[in-house]
Structure 1
């Protein structure tokens, strides 16, 4: 009798686990299907200004941000694919007490994976060797800008990857860099993949270093 009850409980647990996996897979499929019909999302420009201890007014500007989610070419429920556009700009105004000796403006995206299914442990689903993200685009034709052409990184649940698009030196009171249609692909991720843009402006004087950040609105890929 005890063996029969244990068998019934084991069977019930298996059915429940199967139901969780099925629901998760269905959610992944739905997310992938929805990405194929989603219109490009454009976000409002944002800027943050701060006055440094030396008296300079430093402004970080996030502009022309767009996130376009698409159905993945491999038609896999574990893949998220899209295209990103962003302009980052930095400005220095005012009359500081000491001259600015160096400055940069950087931009990029922070990307997070909700659930990594590649270990074969999470929800009992096996998908591949490791959750991977890749971003690639042609080098930007910006004189004096340092850009990153191809980026690959490992995404794990509960972590956020910081993906820099490039850095432009502030040779004058203003500078910026623009990337358009950057391809991003995340493999081995079940559930939401969230992206958030950022722009960082940093300046240095003989007496102080200052960094200003502005962030965009999180968006599901």
Structure 2
């Protein structure tokens, strides 16, 4: 399943001089991570691999906009008498403190498979691909949050049910991240959580990717 796009708009409450965009396009490969957790239900595993960040020049050529295509393969396995949920996404942060002004991030989350038209008020259905057994991706084409200076928000991309004895996979390719109006550094970090449940036990564990910048 291919996730579509996330647009993050940071709205500044004070005026600023916008710098020239940095013309760059590079791909950063990030290392895999995996953890096996002992549990009263047996054990469970959560990990990710094949993570990359493809930084691209902003289409609007504005220095306070960052764009990137991110890819990641997340997996989880339960060895024991429980079911579980595999959840994955990114933490996104923008560090700004401009003349004591507040920093906000405003947009909307449109669930399932509908992405709004830009400037028309209509909707465009997005093809929802689910042809591979064991793969299910939560598509969040546009996301909403409010960030104070230095705050970090969690952006969920994938949620997948896990059955005992099998490995569940959730694959994201070229998810488009756009950060607007952020005059400070933009950092992202992937996360992968596993939540397991039985009649007697609730347990959880996770791994995090290496933090990087846009």
TM > 0.5 fold call: yes
Secondary structure of 1:191's counterpart equals coil
Equivalence for 2:3: none
- The CA deviation string for residues 167-189 of structure 1, in whole angstroms up to 9 with x for no partner, is 11113421010010000111110
Matched, 1:158 2:139: no
Give the aligned length. 180
- The CA deviation string for residues 130-179 of structure 1, in whole angstroms up to 9 with x for no partner, is 54478988645256725123232233312111001111111342101001
Q: Structure 2, unaligned stretches of length 5 or more?
A: 1-15, 110-114, 116-125
Matched, 1:170 2:196: no
Larger radius of gyration: 1
Q: CA RMSD in A?
A: 2.8
**Contact 2:27-2:52 within 8 A present in 1 as well:** yes
Could you say which structure has the greater relative contact order, defined with CA pairs below 8 angstroms and 6 or more residues apart? 2
**Contact 1:198-1:213 within 8 A present in 2 as well:** yes
CA distance in 2, matches of 1:123, 1:71: 28
Matched, 1:46 2:37: no
**Contact 2:192-2:208 within 8 A present in 1 as well:** yes
TM-score normalised per structure 2: 0.74
Equivalence for 1:208: 201
CA shift in 2, pair 1:133/1:110, >3 Å: farther
Secondary structure of 1:194's counterpart equals strand
Equivalence for 1:183: 176
Q: Name which of 140, 163, 166 aligns with 1:149.
A: 140
Q: Structure 1, unaligned stretches of length 5 or more?
A: 1-20, 117-121
TM-score normalised per structure 1: 0.71
CA distance in 2, matches of 1:138, 1:214: 30
Secondary structure of 2:143's counterpart equals strand
Secondary structure of 1:115's counterpart equals coil
